[in-house]
Amino acid sequence: MTDTLVKNFIEGFSIEVVPNSAAKVESFAEILPSGTRVYIAHLSEKEDIKTMVATAKRINEEGFSVMPHIPARIIKNKAMLAEWISMYKNEANVDQALLLAGGSSDVLGEFDSSMQLIETGLFDQAGFKRLHVAGHPEGSKDIDPDGGSKNVSNALSWKQEFSKRTDAQMAIATQFCFDADAVSKWATNIKNNGIDIPIHIGIAGPAKLQTLLKFSIECGIGPSMKVLTKRAKDITKLLLPYKPTEILKGLAEHKKQDPELNIEQVHFFPIGGIKQTADFIKEVS
């Protein structure tokens, strides 16, 4: 494994921020390559849409490609969705979005899935050029409470059919994982099931192990958490910050062995901080 392999694998990466953390970054242009896609996470109904749009506008004006989250379960109705889309398009010059159900188990309005958001036709009417949807390499108990994968699989099949009907570019942006073999197996399985939407694989950026364990539990990370718990038992590594070096090397190697593997890009979750993740990316680039 050479550093060049990892460097090539993460080229064109994206990164996720929330308005509070973004506000602490004096200049994104100083820490990220120009044109990097920056997702803006909308974590709950408590987030002010005006703050979300203002964050999108600011990052866009710094020279970045901005992709806000649109979480179905916190949107009351079609009129509210139309207003959000209009605000992002007209005030922040945004023409792409990540559509997802959202982390809330409560449905606050008419929508409970990204498919329902898509079916409104509002993104197409507004001329959105790129629509990403969520992926779950280790399943999602929000979607499949029994721990299976039937509902997730059915949803991906629906989105695959939609991808053939839309002019918008699509990708599957996934939750972060820690096991390269499990991710590669999942990507291969969905491709064998006819899902050829490009995958942007979620990777947790550097963070203290305790912080990462906390976030992983909150986000419902599955079997690959064994990578973290094994590390936690090693006293020599317990106090050292986790870095995603091993999973990146593993995925890059899988991609080298199978160039048809449908993992197109890496998407970083800066759990330990935006600057810390940006520094790590520079380190491996």
pLDDT in tens, 99-134: 999 876 789 999 999 999 999 999 999 999 999 999
Higher pLDDT, 31 or 235: 31
Torsion sign (Cα): 227, 232, 234, 239 = positive
Report percent pLDDT > 90 for the chain.
76
Report the SS3 class of residue 3: helix
Task: Name the CA dihedral angle for 227, 208, 71, 165, rounded to a multiple of 10 degrees.
Answer: -50
Higher pLDDT, 31 or 215: 31
Could you give the C-alpha distances from 152 to 11, 81, 101, 190, 195, in angstroms and in order? 29, 24, 12, 11, 12
DSSP strand pairing (96-100 vs 130-135)? parallel
Section 28-39 average pLDDT: 97
Report the SS3 class of residue 163: helix
Mean pLDDT of the chain: 90
**Is 90 exceeded by the pLDDT of residue 27?**
yes
- Model pLDDT, residue 33: 97
- Model pLDDT, residue 145: 55
Section 45-51 average pLDDT: 95
Report the SS3 class of residue 155: helix
* Block residue for tokens 């890059």: 252
Q: Is the pTM of this model over 0.75?
A: yes
Is the domain spanning 3-284 CATH 3.20.20.220? The answer is yes
Give the model's confidence band at 3: pLDDT under 50 very low, under 70 low, under 90 confident, else very high. Answer: confident
Cβ-Cβ contacts under 8 Å for 274 (sequence gap 6 or more): 15, 17, 21, 22, 24, 25, 31
- Model pLDDT, residue 37: 98
**Is 50 exceeded by the pLDDT of residue 77?**
yes
Cα(161)–Cα(85) distance, rounded to whole angstroms? 23
- Model pLDDT, residue 2: 47
